[in-house]
């Protein structure tokens, strides 16, 4: 039996006392949990249920495409096109770490059905990878400027629990880091499997913009209300 991984260090921001919902937000390569913390007040969730935003810090490890420099990373990046060679072992290790964070929210009284999994870039990859395989339904998934890794085996490994879970996918049309075509290939697979994908593009590079934040807020209000 695989041992449960040690819980990752996290920054936590509740929007009110006694949160009934949670958003676990995974950062991108070389960043940390503080990267998206400023987005919480910008979402202006207002009358939505109280939410615990959880921003975990990925482990520090060498990254091949960055000359082996050690940085926070959910898995190793081996080639610039991201998918010709993939760090399957690293991806699965981080999947276990994300599952452990979901389990902790369950133990704190928040069922998986009231959890949104979100992420940017590598964090998006881990959101989609983990969310498709979870045995319990999530409230929603948010994937920003990323892609679905291990694309060729995602269909055979996915679980039906999140077959109709709403998925917010967004990408910049000028993204030089994760090419738009990579995200479109992920979108095409998800749509072919019947997933409820809300696809958005914005005229931006590998980043986040104000209209996108407004769209994320609308999506969050929808799925939080639906799961309340």
Residues classed as catalytic: 121, 175, 206
User: Per the structure block, which two tokens stand in for 112?
Assistant: 């998986």
How does DSSP classify residue 104? H
Which value, in Å, is the radius of gyration of the alpha carbons in the chain?
A: 16
Q: Is the dihedral of CA 54, 217, 16, 107 positive or negative?
A: negative
Strand order across the beta sheet in which 140-144 lies: 10-14, 51-56, 21-26, 115-120, 140-144, 167-172, 197-202
Q: Read out DSSP for 40-59?
A: HHHH--TTSPPEEEEEEPPP
At residue 130, φ and ψ (nearest 5 deg) are -70, -45
């Amino acid at each position: 039996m695989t041992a449960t991984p040690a819980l990752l260090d996290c920054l936590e921001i509740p929007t009110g006392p006694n949160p009934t919902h949670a958003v676990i937000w995974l950062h991108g390569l070389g960043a940390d949990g503080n990267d998206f913390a400023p987005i919480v007040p910008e979402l202006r969730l207002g009358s939505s249920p109280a939410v615990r935003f959880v921003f975990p810090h990925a482990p520090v490890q060498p990254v091949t495409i960055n000359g082996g420099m050690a940085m926070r990373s959910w898995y190793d990046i081996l080639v610039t096109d991201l998918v010709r060679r993939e760090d399957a072992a690293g991806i699965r290790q981080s999947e276990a770490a994300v599952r452990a964070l979901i389990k902790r929210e369950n133990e704190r009284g928040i069922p998986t059905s009231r959890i949104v999994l979100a992420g940017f870039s590598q964090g998006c990859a881990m959101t989609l990878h983990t969310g498709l395989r979870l045995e319990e339904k999530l409230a929603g998934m948010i994937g920003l400027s990323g892609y679905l890794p291990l694309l060729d085996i995602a269909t055979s490994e996915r679980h039906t629990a999140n077959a109709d879970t709403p998925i917010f996918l967004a990408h910049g049309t000028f993204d030089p880091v994760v090419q738009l075509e990579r995200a479109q290939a992920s979108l095409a697979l998800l749509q072919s499997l019947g997933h409820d994908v809300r696809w958005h593009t914005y005229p931006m590079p590998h980043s986040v913009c104000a209209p996108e934040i407004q769209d994320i807020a609308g999506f969050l209000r929808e799925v939080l209300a639906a799961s309340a």
